[in-house]
């Protein structure tokens, strides 16, 4: 699918960019990706047959800080810890990034037309954001780092803000097969969060298990997530 990109604004070190198609509809997807977000963004666009949502990305990204909700120690030996800068990142997205996209493209502020998604720590950020704001009516956490220390307690003490939310979980079948005691909890944690969403009558949730480990078929997994969020039939399998 042919698309165009436009830099919308710079906030501190973050440059917000919108990717859009000729017939972009009245929908917005915030993609919590990395600096090399091109492949993920194109995978999302490829999930749609005709009108794709406007995709908002931002870079550069310090994964261990921008996407971590609170400070935590690293989970590998001699690895730096997590900075806990997600609050600042989310505030910047909500107060500056999203308003700029809506002004540029005349987009609705309806949460039912606004999604956030990400992979790995970006998936953690997307899921955590649903507990902080009702701006997003849809969320996809693809192989999200839901093993993050303290996330289970946080989710027990808070609730997803949006009514009638759609939440997509995905995970590789081999991701829990690791000797790392923290990361080995990923499948149990993911299933627990999925079950908690399923228990709420106002949330539609799905969990998709994929073959392989964390880094297998990343673009395809992201495309399937975007298709499910926006109810794009079968396009995510292409």
Residue indicated by tokens 């999604």: 115
Instruction: Order the strands of the 203-210 sheet from edge to edge.
Output: 4-11, 14-20, 54-59, 28-32, 114-119, 138-142, 165-172, 203-210
The answer as to whether 172 is a domain residue is yes
76 within a domain of the structure (yes/no): yes
**CATH code where residue 173 lies:** 3.40.50.1820
How many CB atoms are closer than 10 A to CB 234? 10
Determine phi and psi for 159, rounding to 5 degrees.
Answer: -140, 155
Omega before 60 cis (within 30°)?
Answer: yes
State yes or no: pLDDT of 236 exceeds 50. Answer: no
Owning domain of residue 55 = 4-232
- What are 204-225's pLDDT values in tens digits? 999 999 998 877 888 899 999 9
Does 26 reside within a domain?
A: yes
Handedness of CA 127, 130, 136, 139 (dihedral sign): positive
Q: What is the pLDDT of residues 170-193, one digit of tens each?
A: 999 999 999 889 999 999 999 999
Provide the H-helix boundaries in 12-96. Answer: 38-45, 63-66, 86-92
Mean pLDDT (whole number) for 225-230: 96
Domains identified in the chain, total number = 1
Residue-averaged pLDDT of the chain: 92
Whether 237 is covered by a domain: the verdict is: no
Tokens 């079948």 belong to residue? 173
Average pLDDT over residues 99-106: 97
The residue assigned the tokens 């990204």 is 61
Residue 238 belongs to a domain: no
Range 19-43 average pLDDT: 89
Measure the CA–CA gap between 121 and 137, rounded to whole angstroms: 20
Q: Which tens digit of pLDDT belongs to each residue from 38-70?
A: 888 999 998 998 789 999 999 999 999 999 999
Give a yes or no: residue 123 inside a domain: yes
For 195-200, the CB contacts below 8 A with 24+ separation are 196/155, 197/160, 197/167, 200/160
pTM to 2 decimal places: 0.94
Question: Is 147 part of a structural domain of the chain?
Answer: yes
Strands 4-11 and 14-20: what pairing?
Answer: antiparallel
Q: Is 114 inside any structural domain?
A: yes
């Amino acid at each position: 699918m042919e698309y165009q990109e436009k830099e919308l604004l710079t906030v501190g070190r973050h440059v917000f960019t919108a990717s859009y198609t000729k017939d972009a509809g009245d929908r917005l997807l915030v993609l919590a990706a990395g600096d090399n977000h091109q492949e993920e963004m194109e995978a999302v666009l490829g999930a749609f047959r005709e009108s794709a949502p406007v995709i908002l990305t931002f870079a550069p990204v310090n994964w261990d800080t921008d996407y971590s909700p609170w400070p935590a120690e690293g989970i590998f030996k001699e690895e730096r810890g997590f900075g806990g800068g997600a609050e600042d990142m989310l505030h910047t997205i909500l107060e500056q990034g999203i308003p700029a996209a809506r002004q540029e493209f005349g987009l609705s502020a309806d949460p039912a037309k606004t999604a956030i998604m990400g992979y790995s720590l970006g998936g953690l950020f997307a899921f955590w954001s649903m507990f902080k704001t009702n701006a997003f009516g849809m969320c996809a956490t693809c192989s999200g780092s839901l093993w993050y220390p303290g996330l289970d307690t946080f989710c027990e003490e808070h609730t997803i803000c949006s009514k009638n939310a759609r939440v997509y979980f995905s995970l590789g079948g081999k991701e829990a097969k690791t000797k790392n005691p923290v990361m080995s909890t990923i499948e149990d944690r993911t299933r627990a969060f999925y079950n908690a969403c399923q228990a709420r009558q106002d949330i539609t949730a799905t969990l998709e298990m994929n073959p392989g480990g964390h880094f297998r078929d990343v673009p395809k997994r992201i495309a399937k997530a975007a298709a499910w969020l926006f109810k794009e039939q079968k396009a995510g399998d292409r």
